[in-house]
Amino acid sequence: MKRPIAIYAVAIWTYFQSAIYVAIPLLIIGKFLKISSDLIHIVWTSISILIIILMVGLVLLRRIPRIITIILLAIACIIILKISITMPIREIFVTISFISNKQPLPAYIIYPAFFFINIICIWYLMRKNFIKLSNEYRQNIKNKKRIVPPE
């Protein structure tokens, strides 16, 4: 039994969403409390490692990481809505740093795109067929471990 390929895309997307929505509040809190940037980087790296561990659990089709991923994506949707609602009209461009030349992109395209991709990922993880496949995959793994080769 094979894992669905889409789970890898969901894991990668969730990692980047979590990295974005963890880094932003961390930087704001760090500047507000005047915390050193080294400490902020250590905390961000620790959180990133925890998210990577969570994504490995998601790819292994485990239940708890799937539920936590759904919660993280829902929180990202709420943050996107909050940013979209409170964003002033003059700030309609978002600079995405991983795009060459740091080309500003329209926020009215980026934020809805992020929101809808998050919703699609949540829907995918909550489908009955995916949950059934996940349970069957985990059961198959357990059964393979229980089979003891003859001596």
> Most distant CA pair in the chain: distance in Å?
74
How many whole angstroms separate alpha carbon 93 and alpha carbon 80? Answer: 14
Per-residue pLDDT of the chain (151 residues; tens, 9 = 90+): 788 899 999 999 999 888 777 777 777 787 788 888 788 888 888 888 999 999 999 999 999 999 999 998 998 898 888 877 776 655 555 555 444 555 566 666 777 888 999 999 999 999 999 999 999 988 888 888 776 566 6
Q: For residue 48, what are the CA distances in angstroms to 63, 109, 123?
A: 20, 27, 24
Torsion, Cα of 4, 10, 15, 16 (10° steps): 140
Specify the 3-state DSSP secondary structure of 5.
coil
> 95: which strand partners?
104
Tell me what pLDDT residue 123 has: 96
Tell me the whole-structure pTM to 2 decimals.
0.78
**Domain residue spans in the chain?**
6-146
How many whole angstroms separate alpha carbon 62 and alpha carbon 83? Answer: 32
Which ranges of the chain does DSSP label H, i.e. alpha helix?
6-33, 37-59, 63-86, 107-126, 128-146
